[in-house]
Amino acid sequence: MDSNHRSEVRGFALSTFRQATQCSDHPNDSITELDLGDVVFYGDNGQDEFSSAAVFKAAKGRGYIVAVESSDYTGHG
């Protein structure tokens, strides 16, 4: 994958991260963009009922960070 494509995918994945909300199981965890390593997966359905998911390697240590965002055609989600 060339660096332009990798940069574009990271941009989409970061957008998903920024729009995601903290899950109720971890309400006090503070995850920032500094905690995000490489993008392992990014995908969206490209429909009116939009949803996307991004998986990042954790920047420090082992593990992964998963971000999921969704909204409907009105922009609510």
Q: What element of type H or E holds 67?
A: strand 64-71
Residue 62's SS3 state is coil
More confident position, 71 or 56: 56
Residue showing tokens 């574009």? 8
Interval 29-57 mean pLDDT: 86
Is the Cα dihedral 15, 18, 24, 30 positive or negative? positive
C-alpha–C-alpha distance, residues 8 and 15, integer Å: 11
Q: Categorize the per-residue pLDDT at 75 as very low, low, confident or very high, splitting at 50, 70 and 90.
A: low
pLDDT at 1: 64
Whether residue 54 contacts residue 39, with contact meaning beta carbons closer than 8 Å, is answered with yes
Task: Report pLDDT for 64.
Answer: 95
Identify the three-state secondary structure at position 41.
strand
Q: What is the pLDDT of residues 13-41, one digit of tens each?
A: 999 898 887 777 766 778 889 999 999 99
* pLDDT on residue 76: 54
